[in-house]
Chains A and B, each alone.
Chain A
């Protein structure tokens, strides 16, 4: 049975307050929703990025669970190493060697990685692909804020076309990023892993259910969560949940899951909104509303969103 709102609200916080993430940052919201989804012991790994630098400034930590950070491009290899050691002890125990006394023999340990889109789509993609192919048991959550925020808003391959970042700036000649974002969720689904999903922090039930499903699987699972960044998106901090909902309603970020190869929409907007409703509140797209060139760009972006949405509907057997 999935936890209801009351049960979720009574789950002890595993990422506590007092961290130094920005007001309105989507990352702690996503982390908490994911960690609320299980009562089992959880060990977490993060890669270098906003979450890591803001929650663990020595000598303080916001983590109430064992947590490790090694570097930027290896969250998957890191969580795989921890899982490998756990499995090694369990396998030895099955052959008669006593488990180390700090491991609870009756508990079912879970392993989760939280990584930014830079650490996932770009520099950490190899590590994620490798760990997934090897079949370790972990949930990998991509905190996808669509740029390298920790280092000051540089483009990643998750940055949408037209998006202004400091390395794909909107200029008088070039209106922001020139390429579409990589469809990483589909790339992960192509690994034939047992569970892949896309979600947002604005629909807690969607995300916690997906995390619950993922945690229940003894294998690699991946949830790509669009995670608004008020600073990088030039967005009012209170709009974080709402903007993520608009991403779903415009089909810029559809909510779906791929369970054992079965694609399924988990949310279908009653009425598919034009992308402008999602773009306009965000300063990173402001230049697209100034002139003809911007309008052309928006046109391209709308066409891409339509194309990807139709592709998804087809994969989900909805067409």
Chain B
């Protein structure tokens, strides 16, 4: 029977991994995701999973071994954060290019330097062009649900791409919430058996994987890869619907919170969306038409759907939990603006960079953002296009 249990985000991820029961996991500990690796290692030690757990000596080897294990033919998972993800960076691109649907949980944490163990999205934003699907979860339940869906999305025949399932370090990874844990059998049923494509262990049909690919073919291969992200978007939608039908919690590319009639829209990802929902409630009580666009899929970036969702907004605040140094805005802002501009839409927008290195965001600060939006809508453009929320000095 499905059960409701208090669980931390990390435990919820480990629980989903137990239920998925992958063929291989190669992982390396780093705060704040260490607990997932430890919990999973215990599942292995207690015979609760069949997984071959490879306790590698680095994240570089972790992602190398995962990519190779997936290429050999089987379901593979991995876990990391921040510097660990940075150390995998070279291999991330290769996993995606080899079209291996490795599933990676990233517990988001600020990249060094200086060293900081708390949440921001600089790690996964830094990997945004690597070719991985990226899903961002708001809370413990979403971390659990997203991981299960990630398996189905990544392994779909028309997708075959690796997936990062992201949750906020400490804010979600170490927060206890009530989690609806589904039945092991129901999860297995939902993900289905792994369907390998060109497995290296197929001795009768030897293939050469990862060859030298020069100017005469590389470009076509990259274009072919490019074309997988359309089906990937569709897969996120369809798998999210199917998940809803099966477990009663439907998902899509984004969550629209009081958006139908919203004039003032905040766009954010992950746990900040939870805080923003509070602010929206408060403002709605005062008659302010506030709404929230919580983006779940950053890769593929759902430009069309974002444009359609924002078309009636009077002003939009786009919140980035990462800085893109040397650029004039954060990455979420840049991509959203590009989408709006391409669609010929001139909505006044502003960019907030917030929460770097785990800096708390309060509901009051978010209410302040909506107040700014009222002013921006009235004036037709922001006086300050980029602000650092809650920063001193």
Interface residues of A (CB under 8 A from B): 41, 43, 45, 52-53, 56-59, 61, 63-71, 73-74, 76-82, 84-89, 91-92, 95, 97, 100, 102-104, 107, 109, 126-127, 129-131, 133-134
Which B187-212 residues sit within 8 Å CB-CB of chain A?
196, 199-212
Interface membership of B26, Cβ < 8 A: yes
> Do A56 and B211 touch across chains, with their CB atoms under 8 A apart?
yes
Q: Does B50 contact A (CB under 8 A)?
A: yes
Task: Verify B60–A77 contact, CB threshold 8 A.
Answer: yes
A-chain residues with CB within 8 Å of residue B65 when the two chains form the complex: 77-78, 80-81, 84
- CB pair B211–A82 under 8 Å, yes or no, is no
Asked whether B283 is an interface residue with its Cβ less than 8 Å from the other chain, the reply is no
Q: Is A67 in contact with B64, judged by CB distance below 8 angstroms?
A: no
- Partner of A59 from the list B23, B26, B94, B217 (CB cut-off 8 Å) is B217
| B305: Cβ under 8 A from any A Cβ | no
Top 4 closest A-B pairs, CB basis? A81-B68, A130-B57, A81-B65, A56-B211
In this assembly, does B303 line the interface, its C-beta being within 8 Å of a C-beta of chain A? no
Instruction: Find A127's partner among B60, B90, B205, B208 (CB 8 Å cutoff).
Output: B60
Assembled-state Cα–Cα distance A71/B201 (Å): 20
B residues 1-37 with Cβ under 8 Å of A? 23-24, 26
The digit string for B36-63, where 1 denotes a CB below 8 A from any CB of A, is 0000000000000011101111101110
Residue numbers in A under 8 Å from B68 (CB-CB): 45, 68, 70, 77-82, 85
Chain A residue numbers with a CB within 8 Å of B57 are 126-127, 129-130, 133
Contact A84 B24 (CB under 8 A): yes
B72 interface contact, C-beta 8 A: yes
- Inter-chain contact B73/A67, CB cutoff 8 Å: no
CA distance A78 to B61 in the complex (A): 8
Chain B minimum-CB-distance residue to A76: B61
Which of A41, A53, A104, A134 has a CB less than 8 Å from the CB of B55?
A134
**B63-111 at interface with A (beta carbon < 8 Å):** 64-74, 76, 90-91, 94, 98
Minimum CB–CB distance for B214 against chain A, Å: 7
The interface residues of chain A lying within 8 Å CB-to-CB of B24 are: 81, 84-85, 88
**A41-B203, A66-B201, A66-B206 known; A71 and B64 CB under 8 Å?**
yes
- A88 and B196 contact, CB distance less than 8 A: no
Chain B contacts of A70 at CB under 8 A? 64, 67-68, 91, 94, 98, 210
Measured between beta carbons, the chain A residues less than 8 angstroms from B61 are 74, 76-77, 80, 126-127, 130-131
Does A102 contact B211, Cβ atoms closer than 8 Å?
Answer: no
Contacts of A97 in B (CB 8 A): 50
Chain A residue numbers with a CB within 8 Å of B207 are: 66-67
B66 to chain A, nearest CB (A): 6
Whether the Cβ atoms of A68 and B200 lie closer than 8 Å is yes
A85-B74, A89-B23, A130-B56 known; A102-B91 Cβ under 8 A: no
In the complex, the answer to whether B66 meets A66 with C-beta atoms within 8 Å is: no
* Distance in Å: Cβ of B280 to nearest Cβ of chain A: 46
A74 near B64 with CB under 8 A, answer yes
CB distance A85 to B69 under 8 Å? yes
A-chain residues with CB within 8 Å of residue B217 when the two chains form the complex? 58-59
Distance from A273 Cβ to chain B, minimum over Cβ atoms (Å): 39
Residue of A53, A77, A130 ringed by the most chain B CB atoms within 10 A: A77
B60 touching A74 by the CB < 8 A rule? yes
A14 smallest CB distance to B (angstroms): 9
Let me know if A85 and B64 touch, CB within 8 A: no
In angstroms, Cα B214 to Cα A53, docked, is 10
Cα–Cα, bound, A85→B22 (Å): 10
> Which among B50, B200, B208, B210 has the greatest number of chain A C-beta atoms within 10 A?
B208
Q: Is the CB of A82 within 8 A of B71?
A: yes
- Whether A57 contacts B211 in the complex (CB less than 8 A), given A77-B60, A85-B201, comes out as yes
Residue pair A77, B56 in contact (C-beta under 8 Å): yes
Interfacial chain B residues near A68, Cβ < 8 Å:
68, 71, 200, 208-210
Contact B199 A57, beta carbon cutoff 8 Å: no
- CB <8 Å contact, A73 and B60: yes
Instruction: Establish whether residues B50 and A100, one from each chain, have CB atoms under 8 Å apart when the complex forms.
Output: no
Instruction: Please determine whether B54 and A81 come into contact, CB atoms closer than 8 angstroms.
Output: yes
Q: Is B213 interfacial (CB-CB < 8 Å)?
A: yes
User: A81 vs B205: C-alpha distance in the bound complex, in angstroms?
Assistant: 20
CA A97 – CA B67 in complex, angstroms? 23
Instruction: Please indicate the chain A residues that have their CB under 8 angstroms from the CB of B206 in the complex.
Output: 63-67
Determine how close the nearest CB of chain A comes to the CB of B192; give it in whole angstroms: 15
Chain A contacts of B91 at CB under 8 A?
Answer: 70-71, 74
User: Contact at B201–A102, with CB atoms within 8 Å?
Assistant: yes
What is the minimal beta-carbon distance from A120 to any residue of chain B, in angstroms? Answer: 14
Nearest Cβ on chain A to B222's Cβ, whole angstroms: 13
Given A69-B211, A81-B24, A89:B64 Cβ within 8 A:
no
Asked whether A100 lies within 8 Å of B201 as measured between CB atoms, the reply is yes
Instruction: Return the chain A residue nearest B205 by Cβ.
Output: A102
Given A69-B211, A70-B64, A130-B61, answer yes or no on A88-B202 (Cβ-Cβ < 8 Å).
Answer: no
Q: With A65-B206, A70-B94 as given contacts, are A81 and B201 in contact (CB-CB < 8 Å)?
A: no
User: Do A84 and B52 form a contact, CB below 8 Å, given A74-B64, A78-B65?
Assistant: yes
